[in-house]
Amino acid sequence: MTTREELVEYSIPQLLRWRVRSTPKRPALREKDFGIWNTYSWEDYYSYVRRTALGLRAIGLGKNDTIAIISDNIPELLFIAIGGHSLGAISAGIYQTSMPDEIAQIIDYLKVSAVFCDNQEQVDKVLEVRDRIPGVKKVIFEDPRGCGNICRMTGSLISVTCIKWGKRNIIRIRISSSRWWIGANLMMSVISALHLVPPAFPRGP
């Protein structure tokens, strides 16, 4: 049995692993979605964190990198933060209400390598100041809807994912095809903050 004195020495990822071994099926997180409460067990929580960490490693993030998080209070915030910690990375929260200039100052001061955004509004803020944050190599945004069709630009590193949603198309611009699934309904998409010069691209259906 692990003592309290031993637990004090554990890192956050180690504490998560200890908890999932102790009570794998007990509720860890709950999130309300369209009026319905969804529950993540400790086993689910650990699985999402592990897969997120593997995804972060796959795009080149690791020890001593700093990941800025601009997000509402959602489970994905924790998956990114603890997934990064398990790789030796540092997580830094930025208020969603922060203006682009404030975001640029924080990112530059903390020498951020990647930014996680929970919606397009936050992505747009980061891209607005991309010339002032040359250290940022990746911008990661939550995309729970999946993708409709992918329109690739010839002669360019930029590809565009056109997602049909209701009566409008949501355009996601990203570098190559760096995507990974971390769950049944959750997809993380990776874009480059350094090569986003919008081309004339075809719209989705």
Any idea where the domains of the chain sit in the sequence? 11-144+178-191
Confidence (pLDDT) at 144: 55
DSSP 134: T
* 205 residues of the chain, pLDDT tens digit each: 677 778 888 899 999 999 999 999 999 999 988 899 999 999 999 998 998 888 888 888 999 999 999 999 888 899 999 999 999 999 999 999 999 999 999 999 999 999 998 888 898 898 889 889 989 888 887 765 543 333 332 222 222 233 222 323 333 333 334 444 444 444 455 544 433 333 333 333 3
For residue 34, what are its two tokens? 């369209």
Distance CA 14, CA 86 (A): 8
Neighbours of 115 (CB within 10 A): 27
User: Rounded to the nearest 5 degrees, what angle is found at the Cα of 26, between the Cα atoms of 25 and 32?
Assistant: 110
Q: Which of the 8 DSSP states describes residue 17?
A: H
For the domain made up of 11-144+178-191, the CATH class stated in words is alpha beta
Check residue 97 and give its pLDDT: 95
Distance in angstroms (rounded) separating the CA atoms of residues 23 and 15? 12
Contacts with 187 (C-beta within 8 Å, 6 or more apart), sequence order: 143, 144, 146, 147, 179, 180, 181
DSSP-derived letter for residue 184 is S
- Classified as helix, coil or strand, 155 is coil
